[in-house]
Structure 1
Amino acid sequence: MTRFCLLPGLVLLASVSGFASGPGDRVATDPKSVVSAESAAGASPMPVAELLQTVRLAGSTWSPDGKQIGYISNASGRLNLWVMQADGTGARQLLKSNDRQSSPAFTKDGKEIVFEQDKGGDELYDLYAVSVGGGEPKNLTNTDKTSESGPLFSKDGKWLAFGSKEKVESSTNLAVMEWPAGTARLLTHEKDPKASWDAVDWSPDGRYVYAVRQVGTEDADVYRVEVKSGAAENLTAHTGKVLMLASAVSPDGKTLLMTSNEKGGYANVALLDVASKKRRWVTDTQWEAHAGGFSPRGDTFTYILNADGRATINFVDGKTLKASDRGVPAGLNTPGAGPTAFREDGSYLFSHQDSTHAPNLYLLSAGGTVTQVTHNESPVLTSATLPSSQLVTYKSFDGKMISALVWVPFNLKRDGTAPVVVMPHGGPTGQTLDSFSPRAILLVSRGYVVIAPNVRGSTGYGMEFQKANYKDLGGADLKDEIAGVDFLKATGFVDAKKVGIWGGSYGGFMTLMAIGKNPEMWAAAVDEYGILDWYTMLAHEDAQLQEYEKSLLGDPVVDKAVYEASSPLKYIREEKAPLLVLQGERDIRVPKEEAEQVVEILKKEGRTVDAVYYPEEGHGFIKREHQVDELTRSVGWFDKYLKGETKAQ
């Protein structure tokens, strides 16, 4: 799904007990139940550089023999390709590049890894292959104006499927090449600018690619596409707007594991019989249940349940449909390898994190033993004591229930003196998950109360809630953010005159909208690659994002009043909060023209504004020195304007 944000990270579930059975069962949290935990040692400010020494893993995959893991790591300060042994030892960096690498996939013989790489954050990916032993990578696609991404090998290793998107077009098509010497060939030729294709799995005989054709954010079908002819068969034909998504094919090729929201707009998991096209439901929930993968024998499959931003992995018996977490530790657990997290011996690789522990890979043996594979935390983080996030629910201005994560410093008194920072998420079709958040850790360790609301328009609470800000961006959803501040005021911890806001992408848009529409409320703000004017966005953004924007705001001609009312440009001259603007120079999602406009306008108005444009960065900053600068400047900005401190971080 296209969003004005970096794709959401991983999810962690503290405990399923005590949580609502669905969004409709949530009750408002008593503000006085929000606590400041006591700590004899307290909490010293977490150093930015030390926190960022904690290694980030962006993707992993099993080698065919299950003895190695290929993965993307920023251990060197860049997101590059690495390999390690299955037990986490022997980590080796295969490639060194300033550019972003992602989506590793082993060849059938295990001798090479195929991956994607862009240029300076431009998101125009080429596919490359490199020997597991090292050496120079080979550019397989070598195109300047086409982005090839998501490599997926057939079971026999003879075919490679991937997505192909022309720079000037909005649709991503399905492409294949014979391995190892074939050339790229399109299987689909999409004509609808709102539609795109995504390969999800191969039939066991390599004859078909199973793919999802999605139209906008509300409608999708699963197709079986013949590789030789390109003939596409719709397996989930339906009426109305329903998301039909697939994730995996059973080893015998007879069953598809899929997700559908046809039950009232809530994502649930089903098994699709390929021959009859009939579905058998596995879940019936109003939280988000997303299909996972099959075990090598096909007797077990998985799905991930996201309940209010916290998630767990469920292992399901294929015959009885009984589910179990198999003793996986509670937390934000997600599959740790693609296209399947299972190994041939039945063991399962997963990623685990929570609000106080960084993501690491773990291995669940077939016998139920859990072993930690990676140890990504820096020594400083390992020894640090951090306050956990707290999940709260509050009523917004119109009674709509809003969930949020709150972080409260240790040993804080209810004397109304603590500064607050609101962290709106990207999207808007996104969700703040209960994950390890460097931003929140940096702030809470310095005495800030932090709140990250999942306002209307967020995913995770059903399609009706997701569409609740349609043609009203920065309207009622901004009021949901403000209601979160009102909730914090009622806790007795915070000072209403020391409220800041910090967001990126759509969160940056929300930041600009907030300080423009409610200028008296905010004392400081940080906008990272946020949208100022939806019309200049249309002129400069990627073609696929143009269609996404129209799906949120309507026709730019017919709905001109909506575009203008939803643009911070209309209100920004009213802002009073000191504003820091951070932007990547090669961002195709929110181009730098948005940041430049903000800065130019506020400087002319004589306001307090500063800006940094990071070279060779796209949407979000991946180079460690830029991340250090980003976080150091942002925390320093709040320390100066919310706390009156000017000391270096």
Structure 2
Amino acid sequence: MTESHGSMPDDAATRYAADTPHGATAPQAATAPGDAGMPDWEKRFRAPRVSLPDWAQDAPERSLFVSNASGTYELYAWDRATGEQRQVTDRPNGTTDGVLSPDGEWIWWFDDTDGDEFGVWKRQPFHGGTDEPAVPGLKASYPAGLAIGRDGRTVVVGRSTDEEGSTIHVVRGAGGPVEVYRHPESAGVGDLSHDGTLIAIEHTEHGDAMHSAIRVLRPDGSVVAELDDTKGGTIELGLEVLGFAPVDGDTRLLVGHQRRGRWEPMVWDVASGDETDLALELPGDVSAEWYPDGSALLIAHSFEARSELWRFEPATRALVRLDTPPGSVSGATARPDGTVEFLWSSAAEPPVVRSTSGGVVLDPPGMRSPASVPVEDVWVEGPGGRIHALVQKPAGATGPLPTVFEIHGGPTWHDSDSFAAGPAAWVDHGYAVVRVNYRGSTGYGREWTDALKHRVGLIELEDIAAVREWAVASGLADPAKLVLAGGSWGGYLTLLGLGTQPDAWAIGLAAVPVADYVTAYHDEMEALKAMDRTLLGGTPEEVPERFEASSPLTYVDAVKAPVYISAGVNDPRCPIRQIDNYVDRLAARGAVHEVYRYDAGHGSLVVDERIKQVRLELDFAERHLNR
């Protein structure tokens, strides 16, 4: 189970988006400012969206989804049988972590404080009622997975704290939580078998937080089986739990592996130890989940920033492509009737929850999101191999243009041909936007993802520099009006780039960044400390030279460009103190900078707040680029 510094999606909801199967209407949108004179970029943030609905395993007519209809992203219950929908949560900073119990009777949701990700699970009856502590006796923590048994009595809860490390507890019936696992390194709940007799966990006891191993336990904590691809070699390989077969007594576990240099699925029988490699002949990364009857697999295939869906039948090895438009599928689920619902978008077209039966699944009323422009693919030769970049520019525009390099977070993530309101806002204002899938990005093979170890930040910036040189030489970008921007890890790379490449950038826009790597390490959540030890090869005390070389604070005195920084004061991933340290250094030397602090965590789930932040960034760029 890996953790990252994370990246709040561009509009805080890329993973929760949509437009619409037949006959269902999403919650009424909150009253927004009159849209007659509202610019398109703002409409894209305000337009009501819904996520891919989750559904209860034994009550598939009951679903749970996320929507921004109230102006804040919250959980909503949907009874498909009656069409009734209701808002489940209502908190100032929003709620997105929720799970339906298999019987559909309860909605579990994670209750943190103002976006700090530290809290407890609560639950509420599906049709409404009083919230109650879901697991009395467990103290607040960072969440590390949750699995609820079909018997309604068994719950497996993963937790992470600075003091305890990773712990996993089992609750059975009226009894209190019983600890069945503990380790200082990161670990979490993968899945609970259909009959509740087996628990799959992902762990990084070997110390490499980028590559998990899998252990299967009984509810009493005794070990059933181990699967660890990190043993016996210098090349670390990761595993991930994709899910137990949805059949009582079936001991098959669907597992993701990297044995051929990319993510692929296989079936591991934890009782016999047999491993069945599916060996699907598809380029790029491949993931999978079970169809509800266990007879087939829903295959998610990602390649070169696009994705598609397939149905695979292990018994016959039949592989059939499902009808999905060109673009990106950011979530999919197979329904009991054999249809598949999926969340789709492209850079030009807003997100929509579609069904293979035809039509869409939920139709948010009110304002529709304006479309944007499609992306163009660019491949640039870099120091570590070919770099893939996605480029958008105003329709009909010719260069050279002011250009924003919008750098994704993670770092183990990637930009795709999917709808993003932030880049679209820049295009509306006459900018070209370039998004670079630098080394460290997912979707281009294990070696590409793992390449950034030890020279963290500097490697990614080498790739960004290569694409920047292409953008200028090709006539796309005005070299005097280059903007380096990003959030989370992208914000970190922005500050590091301004200091290590001071003559390359006209301004920098960094949201929730790592700014002082040493202080960030000491203040961040424990799971991210483990990730940083993996990336840099140790703690700041063990490898001080690496932390120094990779810290934006080291180069702050070389920064020439005006800097804009926004930060959540409750952020556990990129904590505020290390940002203040960087800002103090900028202020001490009189460097041009502006800082915006807001009351939330690692980004905001409040639509008005996100719009305010984009407006501030656009204004900063306009003032300092002298456009």
Would you call these one fold, judging by a TM-score over 0.5?
A: yes
Q: Which one-letter code corresponds to 1:530 in the other structure?
A: P
| Partner-residue secondary structure (3-state), 2:462 | helix
Matched, 1:357 2:343: no
Give distance in 2, aligned partners of 1:540 and 1:509.
Answer: 16
- In structure 2, relative to structure 1, the CA distance for the partners of 1:59 and 1:345 (3 Å cut) is closer
Distance 1:454 1:474 in 2: 13
Give the Å deviation of 1:162.
Answer: 2.2
1:140-539 equivalence runs, <5 A:
140-141=134-135, 145-148=140-143, 150-169=145-164, 171-179=165-173, 181-190=174-183, 193-200=184-191, 202-215=192-205, 216-227=208-219, 229-238=220-229, 239=231, 240=233, 241-252=236-247, 253-263=250-260, 265-284=261-280, 287-336=283-332, 341-364=333-356, 369-376=357-364, 379=367, 381=369, 384-396=370-382, 398=383, 400-414=385-399, 416=400, 418-539=401-522
Task: Write the distance in 1 (CA, Å) between the matches of 2:463 and 2:304.
Answer: 16
Aligned CA distance change for structure 1 residues 188 and 57 (closer, same or farther; 3 Å): farther
In the TM superposition, residue 458 of structure 1 has moved relative to its aligned partner by 1.7
C-alpha distance in structure 1 between counterparts of 2:223 and 2:284, whole Å? 29
Separation of aligned partners in 2, 1:523 and 1:439: 19
1:158-217 deviation per Cα after TM superposition (whole angstroms, max 9, x unaligned)? 212221222434x433222225x4422222122xx33413222x2232212222223534
Structure 2 CA distance for partners of 1:77 and 1:276, relative to 1, 3 Å: same
Deviations 1:276-307 (A, max 9, x none): 32222223568543433212222111221111
Instruction: Name the SS for the 1:627 alignment partner.
Output: helix
Segments of 5+ residues of structure 2 without an aligned counterpart are: 18-36
Q: Is the 8 A contact 1:11 1:309 kept in 2?
A: no
Deviations 1:223-258 (A, max 9, x none): 22111x211223424433321222122233142211
1:62 aligns with 2:55: yes
Identical counterparts, % of pairs: 23
Does structure 2 retain, via aligned residues, the 8 Å contact 1:11–1:311?
A: no
Tell me how far apart the structure 1 counterparts of residues 372 and 227 of structure 2 sit (CA, whole Å).
Answer: 47
Cα RMSD (Å) of the superposition? 2.5
SS, match of residue 352 in structure 1: strand
Distance in 2 of aligned mates of 1:551 and 1:566? 14
Give the stretch that moved more between structures: 544-553 or 63-72: 63-72
SS in 2 for 1:371: coil
Q: 1:237 to 1:482 in 2, by over 3 A?
A: closer
Q: TM-score, normalised by structure 2?
A: 0.88
Tell me, what secondary structure is at the counterpart of 1:50?
Answer: helix
Deviations 1:259-285 (A, max 9, x none): 10012x321111223333222222356
| Structure 2 counterpart SS, 1:372 | coil
> SS of the counterpart of 1:618?
coil
Task: Give 1:639 deviation, angstroms.
Answer: 2.1
1:7–1:223 distance in 2 versus 1, CA, 3 Å: farther
Looking at structure 1, the residues matched to 608 and 195 of structure 2 have their Cα atoms a distance apart, in angstroms, of 47
Note the 1:556-575 alignment, pairs <5 A: 556-575=540-559
Question: Measured at CA, do residues 581 and 260 of structure 1 come closer, stay the same or move farther in structure 2, by a change above 3 Å?
Answer: same
Is the CA contact 1:2–1:545 (under 8 Å) kept in the aligned structure 2?
yes
Cα deviation, 1:330-375, whole Å, max 9, x if unaligned, reads: 3312434xxxx233222222211111223222223xxxx2220123
Rate the CA distance shift 1:449–1:378 in 2: closer, same or farther, 3 A: farther
The residue number in structure 2 matching 1:596 is 580
Q: Secondary structure at the match of 2:469?
A: helix
Query: Is the alpha carbon distance of 1:306 and 1:285 closer, same or farther for their aligned partners in structure 2, counting shifts above 3 Å?
Result: same
**In 2 relative to 1, CA 159–613 (structure 1 residues): closer, same or farther, beyond 3 Å?**
same
> In structure 2, what is the Cα distance between the partners aligned to 1:47 and 1:329?
24
Aligned position for 1:35: none
Question: 1:424-460 deviations in whole A, cap 9, x for unaligned?
Answer: 1112222222221111100011111101101112222
